[in-house]
């Protein structure tokens, strides 16, 4: 999100909202105190979101909402009107939300909503429904929540999309569809995508509670019955996405090294073992390298442990930046790293590792006192695998030992 417009005639409240959005979410905010001022801002800037009060000095009856929607703005309504019927009628319009201005909690809710919309921009949603009207309606609601949306008409198309778009975070599927119904689609998706990878919400007008249970038992995260309110839909979708994000955060913490951000030893063995077995079976060539910072204790003793940590982080960044996206870089312990280079010849593996060595040698790490620290690395490389992953890693470690014994700052291989 780049810029938000707040339209609110209560200047104290408007400034408070703008200040909190800017400081807590780092988003540029403009403030208008009446519709005429808002029109001038809207001519000057393109806003990703507008927060609009319903009762303005020059637009006392909610005219601002109609104007904003006509200009295709995404809108969150701010109002002191707590009448239930009025609120329901307002929610029928193409607005994101209706928030009562009751106090600090409501302002915090607005900030949380904007934060959620920011994160939604990172997610892609697949809508599966053979009804063109329903597909269009759901797509509009999702895009209003800042999601990127793909729509297809039946289950087979959906499976193809999930296969070709690994970044899909959520699938919204109808139950009754031709070719493949939503329940069968859910089963098929769950064969390759767990709840940690992708969320599924079933959307159906079926009144049979057994169908709801079947969806949930077969891997759906949630079930929405048609007809549904916009608020229920938004809450369920956002909750599913947030749960997926939380799972990813927990998983990421469990698999990443806390200091460098590269993978840890546990994640390396878990993922490398599966690849190792497949690569050996299919005859795919690969390389495993053990890497260690030379004279690391001297860095800690001379420049402090904080400087040593900086050297480790710098090395991790060099390793990550100069290996492929499908390769595996992990910190095993202390200043020691392990790399799995996939689908690569012995010659190309040596070229990459020599590049890593020379880039590290020319790198300068700066201590907290501004001192310039230079260091080198030794590397043990294995391109002919042993019978097991453990034995292959041990051989790479032996080659690393040879590199150290033979003078350091070199690549030793079998």
> What DSSP assignment string belongs to 308-369?
HHHHHHHHHHHHHHTS-TTSEEEEEETTEEEEEE-S--HHHHHHHHHHHHHHHHH--EEPTT
Q: How far apart are CA 275 and CA 297, in angstroms?
A: 34
Say which residues have a Cβ less than 8 Å from residue 412's Cβ, sequence separation at least 6. 378, 379, 380, 381, 399, 400, 402, 403, 406
Is residue 87 within 8 Å of 108, Cβ to Cβ? no
Provide the whole-model pTM: 0.73
Q: How far apart are CA 99 and CA 110, in angstroms?
A: 8
Summarised one tens digit per residue, pLDDT across range 304-323 is: 999 999 999 999 999 999 99
| Confidence at residue 2, expressed as pLDDT on a 0 to 100 scale | 86
| Confidence at residue 361, expressed as pLDDT on a 0 to 100 scale | 97
Q: How far apart are CA 184 and CA 219, in angstroms?
A: 11
| Confidence at residue 394, expressed as pLDDT on a 0 to 100 scale | 96
Report all structural domains of the chain as residue ranges with CATH numbers, in order of start: 3-118 (3.40.50.2300), 122-254 (3.40.50.2300), 263-413 (3.30.70.270)
What is the 8-class DSSP label of residue 178? S
| Confidence at residue 237, expressed as pLDDT on a 0 to 100 scale | 97
Question: Mean pLDDT of successive 10-residue segments in the chain (414 residues)?
Answer: 93 94 95 97 96 95 94 94 88 93 89 96 96 94 96 94 95 92 96 94 89 94 93 95 93 90 94 94 96 96 95 97 95 97 96 97 94 97 93 97 97 93
Nearest to 235 by CA among 192, 201, 198, 280: 201
């Amino acid at each position: 999100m780049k810029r938000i417009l707040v339209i609110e005639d209560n200047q104290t409240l408007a400034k408070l909202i703008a200040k909190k959005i800017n400081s807590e979410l780092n988003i540029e905010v403009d403030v208008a105190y009446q519709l005429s001022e808002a029109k001038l801002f809207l001519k000057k800037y393109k806003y990703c979101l507008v927060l609009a009060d319903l009762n303005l000095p020059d637009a006392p009856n909610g005219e601002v909402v109609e104007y904003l929607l006509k200009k295709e703005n995404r809108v969150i309504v701010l109002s002191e009107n707590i009448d239930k019927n009025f609120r329901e009628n307002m929610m029928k319009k193409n607005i994101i939300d209706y928030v009562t201005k009751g106090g600090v909690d409501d302002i915090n809710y607005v900030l949380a909503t904007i934060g959620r919309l920011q994160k939604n921009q990172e997610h892609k949603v697949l809508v599966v429904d053979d009804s063109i009207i329903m597909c269009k309606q759901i797509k509009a609601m999702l895009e209003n929540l800042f999601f990127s949306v793909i729509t297809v008409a039946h289950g087979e198309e959906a499976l193809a999309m999930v296969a070709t778009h690994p970044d899909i975070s959520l699938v919204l599927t109808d139950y009754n569809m031709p070719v493949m119904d939503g329940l069968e689609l859910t089963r098929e998706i769950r064969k390759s995508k767990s709840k940690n990878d992708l969320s599924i919400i079933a959307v159906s007008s079926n009144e049979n509670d057994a169908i709801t249970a079947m969806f949930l038992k077969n891997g759906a995260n949630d079930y929405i019955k048609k007809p549904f309110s916009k608020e229920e839909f938004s809450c369920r979708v956002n909750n599913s996405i947030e749960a997926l994000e939380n799972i990813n955060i927990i998983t990421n913490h469990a698999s990443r090294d806390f200091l460098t951000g590269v993978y840890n030893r546990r994640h390396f063995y878990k993922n490398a073992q599966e690849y190792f077995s497949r690569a050996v079976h299919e005859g795919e060539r690969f390389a495993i390298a053990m890497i260690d910072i030379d004279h690391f204790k001297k860095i800690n003793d001379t420049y402090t442990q904080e400087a040593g940590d900086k050297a480790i982080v710098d090395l991790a960044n060099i390793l990550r930046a100069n290996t492929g996206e499908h390769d595996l870089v992990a910190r095993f312990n202390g200043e020691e790293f392990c790399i799995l280079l996939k689908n690569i010849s012995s010659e190309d593996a040596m070229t990459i590792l020599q590049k890593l060595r020379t880039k590290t040698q020319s790198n300068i790490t700066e201590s907290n006192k501004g001192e310039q620290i230079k260091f080198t690395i030794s590397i043990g490389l294995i391109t002919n695998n042993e019978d097991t992953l453990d034995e292959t890693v041990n051989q790479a470690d032996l080659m690393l030992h040879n590199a150290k014994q033979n003078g350091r700052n070199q690549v030793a291989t079998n």
